[in-house]
Copies of this chain bind each other. A is one copy, B any other.
Amino acid sequence: MDVNASWSYHGAMSAETNAATGVAAGAGLGFDPIARAREQWVEQGWDAAADGMAAITSLMRAHQIVLARVEATLRPLGVTFARYEVLMLLWFSKRGSLPMKVIGSRLQVHPTSVTNAVDRLEDAGLVTRSTHPEDRRAMLVALTPAGRELAERATKALNTDVFEQPDLGPRDVRSLVDVLTRLRARAGDF
């Protein structure tokens, strides 16, 4: 994979698609499709919505780019980002185990998504399920030694290949986190 790419998914390459991420690169378009869409919004008289549209569309596209990069880094390790998040939640917990309910509320995903992720982690021998001793409705999910080891390897890979190469400049990174923290706060995220 492209070592100098940072968040970039094709770096200095001129190819139109990058096999590592599977994301088609628009290099050569010569214009920013989101800026163009914003202009079209204004042309239609939708001025009041133009900036919001651009912001949301930018968020969608940036998510797509970054997720592809993260998944490409995790793929050789045999986990997806969704499952990695579950592993790290358990890794940081004192006992190394948590009820399904807690996992879902921390990750803000649907209960069935937790069931799905834990099913696959269990099949891979990375976690175990056991009934909660004080509430037989609840399931305790616990990290196995293999799961703990994989969590550490995956984190090392993500840190060096993705998180330490934000490709954005420290000011932009801080600004991005600040703005999105306000957005999440107003959305009731915490």
Interface majority SS (helix, strand, loop, mixed), chain A: helix
Which among A25-33, A120-128, A132-140, A141-149 touches the partner chain?
A: A25-33
> At the interface, yes or no: A58 with Cβ under 8 Å from chain B?
yes
Whether the pair B110, A58 counts as a contact (CB closer than 8 A) is: no
Contacting B at CB under 8 A, from A88-135, are 92, 104-106, 108-110
Q: How far is the CA of A40 from the CA of B159 in the complex (A)?
A: 13
Listed residue (A92, A167, A187) with the most chain B CB atoms within 10 angstroms of its CB: A187
Whether the pair A168, B61 counts as a contact (CB closer than 8 A) is: no
- Chain A interface size band reads 35 or more
Tell me the minimal C-beta distance from A171 to chain B in angstroms. 9
Q: How far is the CA of A24 from the CA of B109 in the complex (A)?
A: 7
Report which of B13, B62, B159, B167 forms a contact with A46, defined as CB distance below 8 A.
B159
Report which of B8, B169, B182 forms a contact with A187, defined as CB distance below 8 A.
B8
Residues of B within 8 A of A164 (CB): 48-49, 52
Whether the pair B163, A49 counts as a contact (CB closer than 8 A) is: yes
> At the interface, yes or no: A1 with Cβ under 8 Å from chain B?
no
Tell me the minimal C-beta distance from A178 to chain B in angstroms. 8
Whether the pair B56, A163 counts as a contact (CB closer than 8 A) is: yes
Residues of B within 8 A of A108 (CB): 23-26, 61, 64
A residues apposed to B, CB below 8 Å: 6-11, 13, 22-27, 29-35, 37, 40, 46, 48-56, 58-67, 70, 81, 92, 104-106, 108-110, 155, 158-160, 162-170, 172-177, 179-190
